[in-house]
Amino acid sequence: MQLEVTGQNVEVTQALRAYIHEKSERLERHFDNLISGHFVLRLEKLEHMADGTLHAGGKTNAIHAEAVAEDMYAAIDSLIDKLDRQVRRHKSRVTDHRNSA
């Protein structure tokens, strides 16, 4: 999966990139048809926000989630958890519909 990490009002360090890459491997384990992921890390006053959009193969809409926390790493963890639930639900829908003809 191709990952793109950008930051608004925050510098995206190599440690943040590595953390996102490490956590996104869990998403690839659950569904291997993910093509790309775009993550935006934002800092607004005291809130650390993380937005994530995943694109899967086939004729599907993008999978999107947002998370807010007091720490950037906690926001990323929450974001990955939300995306993981959506990816697993998407995979179950794709596999169920493919076999029912």
Domain chopping of the chain, boundaries? 2-96
Average pLDDT over residues 29-38: 88
Instruction: Give the model confidence (pLDDT) of 1-23 as tens digits.
Output: 899 999 999 999 999 999 999 99
pTM metric for this prediction: 0.87
In this predicted structure, the answer to whether residue 99 has a pLDDT above a threshold of 60 is no
Could you tell me the pLDDT band of residue 95, with boundaries at 50, 70 and 90?
confident
Instruction: Check the CA dihedral 55-16-22-2 and report its sign.
Output: positive
Assign domain 2-96 to a CATH class: alpha beta
pLDDT tens readout for residues 37-60 = 999 999 998 999 999 999 988 777
